[in-house]
Structure 1
Amino acid sequence: MVLSTVFYLPKLDQKYSCEYKEIPEPVIFPGCTVPLHGIDFPDPFHCRKSAVYKEFVNWSGRYLLATGIIVNSFFELETKTFKALIEEEPDVPPIYPVGPIVRTGSSNEVDGSGCLKWLGEQPSESVLFVCFGSGGTLTQKQLTELALGLEMSEQRFIWVVRNPNEKAKHGSYFIDDDEDGVDFHFLPDGFVERTKGSGLVVSSWAPQVEILSHGSTGGFLTHCGWNSTLESIVNGVPLIAWPLYAEQRMNAVLPADDLKVAFRVRENEEGIVVREDISRYAREIMEGEEGKMVRRKMREFKDSALKALSKDGSSTKSLAKVVETWKKLEQ
């Protein structure tokens, strides 16, 4: 969907004069099975007068000049979109879905958080992993709601926590958390003690790949960065989609609205996801009937991902075409 947006941005720029979040009707891109609402466009699109947005428009036109475009996705994940771009759009250069390309196996880093040891003591598929990526931050009010929602859900969890940030949802890119000095003073009084045993609160970093591939992990509350989304698909872990910034809202549309392998959180009028809803999402993804259906669908996409990367898989064949193109360019 993001690539479709890039190709059609010049047309959208001409069609609409308002800000994208004010577009009255949902936008449907060729091949996309679900519409995109204005609020879900990437952050740079929400200020048309900005230099960043104008640069996006300029560069989107240059994509059409490429000899080919390699995409970290796989045909079975976005079948209709790839078919539309590859077969029905003559002006679009060749598209090569070669994914999912994600890191697998051990990172060889010392797990100072103790996550993996703790996971090994939990029942199968019983733990909800909560992580907002390397940059994601929440306000103090939202951190409090998340903590109390996790506690209210009575589900096992691993939560990678960062200091609150009142100004930016990607605040961790601009602050240096002291992992050894965090005392979680910003969490509700007694929260860590009350959830001890059923929950593990970790400061700033955790071995995400190893956690998602662990048999005790049964759900992933995520910011919907594309790497995290692919990692969850490869490991068959269903999602609670909580996008924060950049293109994450657009990324969330695919698993939540199209593939139906995620629950997407809803904010109230103040932009807060309240504790009662957080508790409901956690309970449903881990033990609810709808959660079971979501889990089954995610396992199907896990199998599709493995097949795509196999010797005769779609991504392997697509990569072979890339190699052929490079060889021709060298001649």
Structure 2
Amino acid sequence: MESSKADVSIVVVPFPAQGHLNQLLHLSIMLSSHGLTVYYAAPRTHIHQARSRLQGWPASVTSTLHFHELPIPPYTSPAPNPNSSIFFPSHLQPLFEEFKHVRPHLASLLHSLSAASHRVVVISDFLVSFAATEAAALPNGEPYTFRCTPPSSALGWEGEDGPAGNIIKSFGLKTPSKEDCITEEFRAIVGRSKSMPESGLLINTCRLIEGDFLDLFMQQPDLIGKKLFAIGPLNPTVITETTGPRHPCLDWLDRQPPCSVLYISFGSNSSISDEQIEQLAIGLLNSDQRFVWVLREADRGDIIAEGEKDLQNKLPPDFIEKIEGKGTIIGDWAPQLEILAHKATAAFMSHCGWNSCIESISMGKPMLAWPMHSDQPWNAVLLSDYLKVGVIVRDWSRRKEILPAAEIEKAIKEVMVYNKGEEIKQRASELGEAVRQAVADGGTSNTELLAFINHITRS
């Protein structure tokens, strides 16, 4: 088997957005740890972005990976618009459009590896359809797609009629509207990813979380007969070492009582308006709860060229003075995994990007759901109404509204103070323990990962 591993080259191709870069870097590390040769292929800026934000692993963990730069033409990197009519990060669209021009450079890498390898396995993000096409054209190529979103979200988008809708309704779930989830321009990118020549799919989920949906997901016409490997969570589930200097917020957390702090972050690509920042701040003050709040501008297409924008001037007067000793504001990138793993952290108010969901689940922390775009409205329903490890702060039907401070305060207290919150915390803790067992030796996700490795290294 070891000789087979040496003869296989794996090329991982992420889509250039943080939640995608991150998940596929975690996967690359896991595959490399099993003695496989792994190339992480992306533009230089996004390799830096993925590596500089890696959390939860020893600093040396990327030393066995091959980082292959894919040249990309220059693109504009506009600032996000927090007052846009929809919350999808359309300011990243210029990057997304130019990304297709890396295709010939990826093809060149694949052809060179094809000549020197028994098999070239390409694991590409679902949104990078051209990578699967290039892999399928090789005489020894084997394409797999990686889904950064939960399979249940794809079923939810099919509508209420039909088998998927019936299953969803049987669990008492209501599918959120698809309206405003993505832009028309991004919808075209998603459309190009249908019916790819993939040998199978890898998904950052586990059967404990979505087992009721996975078989139905694979019954879609373009997936019938393909292999599915549910191998998540991919993020480390036991945080033992940081990859760099310790963030000051962790020292602050060390001084707080156990299970007393609310962590607030709306992800790398989401923005909220100045008026909503003010209402959230007031709601936090009135809730009288300890908190860590990541208040930063959403990522631009090039995070190296652009500095962080200070949003603290959008807070109410004297807010910083009033929260002294009870809350802390982070104006730059936050060590989310370490915050969620900290014993002082009680819950997570989140936009419900799948990366944040799966990290919070794996750390056993309940969520206060505030969905912004894409799969997030469905993820909020999955967490609150199916898994019952969270509450919805702002329902998707009210996405155009400024949520008032009183409602934010109520949602915070529901999880942090009231008896219902204790039940939610208990369920989240139990699910987190079960999910950590799934990725441990002999667990379902670990077994499926090993099955994938055995499959791609077969003779």
* Fold shared by both chains (TM-score > 0.5): yes
Instruction: Tell whether the 8 Å contact from 2:280 to 2:408 is kept in structure 1 after alignment.
Output: yes
Question: For structure 1, which segment, 23-32 or 126-135, has the greater mean C-alpha deviation from structure 2 after superposition?
Answer: 23-32
- Kindly indicate whether residue 431 of structure 2 is the aligned counterpart of residue 301 of structure 1: yes
The aligned counterpart of 1:154 is 288
Change over 3 Å in CA distance of 1:323–1:295 after alignment to 2: same
1:148-183 Cα shifts (integer Å, max 9, x gaps)? 0100100001111125xxxxxxx432684447xx47
Change over 3 Å in CA distance of 1:132–1:105 after alignment to 2: farther
The aligned counterpart of 1:16 is none
The aligned counterpart of 2:243 is 108
- Kindly indicate whether residue 216 of structure 2 is the aligned counterpart of residue 84 of structure 1: yes
Q: C-alpha displacement at 1:120, in angstroms?
A: 1.0
Residue pairs, 1:88-167, within 5 angstroms: 91=224, 93-103=226-236, 104-112=239-247, 114-163=248-297
Unpaired runs of at least 5, structure 1:
13-22, 164-170
In structure 2, what is the Cα distance between the partners aligned to 1:273 and 1:312? Answer: 45
Say which of 174, 177, 181 aligns to 1:38. 177
Instruction: Tell whether the 8 Å contact from 2:156 to 2:378 is kept in structure 1 after alignment.
Output: no
Q: C-alpha displacement at 1:106, in angstroms?
A: 3.4
The aligned counterpart of 1:57 is 191
Change over 3 Å in CA distance of 1:306–1:148 after alignment to 2: same
| Count of paired positions | 300
1:269-321 Cα shifts (integer Å, max 9, x gaps)? 85212101111111111121111111111112111112211221111211122
The aligned counterpart of 1:242 is 370
Unpaired runs of at least 5, structure 2:
1-148
- Counterpart secondary structure, 1:224: coil
The aligned counterpart of 2:336 is 208
The aligned counterpart of 1:259 is 387
- Counterpart secondary structure, 1:273: coil
Instruction: Tell whether the 8 Å contact from 1:74 to 1:100 is kept in structure 2 after alignment.
Output: yes
Question: For structure 1, which segment, 115-124 or 82-91, has the greater mean C-alpha deviation from structure 2 after superposition?
Answer: 82-91
Question: For structure 1, which segment, 69-78 or 24-33, has the greater mean C-alpha deviation from structure 2 after superposition?
Answer: 24-33
Opposite residue 319 of structure 2, the aligned amino acid is F
Change over 3 Å in CA distance of 1:26–1:140 after alignment to 2: farther
The aligned counterpart of 1:172 is 299
Instruction: Tell whether the 8 Å contact from 1:105 to 1:209 is kept in structure 2 after alignment.
Output: no
Opposite residue 172 of structure 1, the aligned amino acid is D
Opposite residue 98 of structure 1, the aligned amino acid is I
Overall identity of the aligned pairs, in %: 27
In structure 1, what is the Cα distance between the partners aligned to 2:399 and 2:371? Answer: 17
Q: C-alpha displacement at 1:8, in angstroms?
A: 9.2
1:72-110 Cα shifts (integer Å, max 9, x gaps)? 111111111124345898825221101111144433332
Instruction: Tell whether the 8 Å contact from 2:389 to 2:427 is kept in structure 1 after alignment.
Output: yes
- Counterpart secondary structure, 1:101: coil
The aligned counterpart of 2:22 is none
Opposite residue 109 of structure 1, the aligned amino acid is G
Instruction: Tell whether the 8 Å contact from 2:153 to 2:378 is kept in structure 1 after alignment.
Output: no
Change over 3 Å in CA distance of 1:315–1:37 after alignment to 2: same
Q: CA RMSD in A?
A: 2.9
Instruction: Tell whether the 8 Å contact from 1:7 to 1:61 is kept in structure 2 after alignment.
Output: no
- Counterpart secondary structure, 1:43: coil
Q: C-alpha displacement at 1:31, in angstroms?
A: 5.1
Q: C-alpha displacement at 1:29, in angstroms?
A: 4.4
- Kindly indicate whether residue 151 of structure 2 is the aligned counterpart of residue 3 of structure 1: yes
Question: For structure 1, which segment, 308-317 or 97-106, has the greater mean C-alpha deviation from structure 2 after superposition?
Answer: 97-106
Instruction: Tell whether the 8 Å contact from 2:156 to 2:175 is kept in structure 1 after alignment.
Output: no
Residue pairs, 1:182-197, within 5 angstroms: 182=310, 184-197=312-325
In structure 1, what is the Cα distance between the partners aligned to 2:329 and 2:432? Answer: 28
In structure 2, what is the Cα distance between the partners aligned to 1:137 and 1:58? Answer: 27
Change over 3 Å in CA distance of 1:140–1:77 after alignment to 2: same
Q: C-alpha displacement at 1:5, in angstroms?
A: 5.5
In structure 1, what is the Cα distance between the partners aligned to 2:427 and 2:190? Answer: 35
Instruction: Tell whether the 8 Å contact from 1:237 to 1:295 is kept in structure 2 after alignment.
Output: yes
- Counterpart secondary structure, 2:194: helix
In structure 2, what is the Cα distance between the partners aligned to 1:31 and 1:25? Answer: 10
In structure 2, what is the Cα distance between the partners aligned to 1:172 and 1:321? Answer: 36
Opposite residue 182 of structure 2, the aligned amino acid is D
In structure 1, what is the Cα distance between the partners aligned to 2:163 and 2:314? Answer: 40
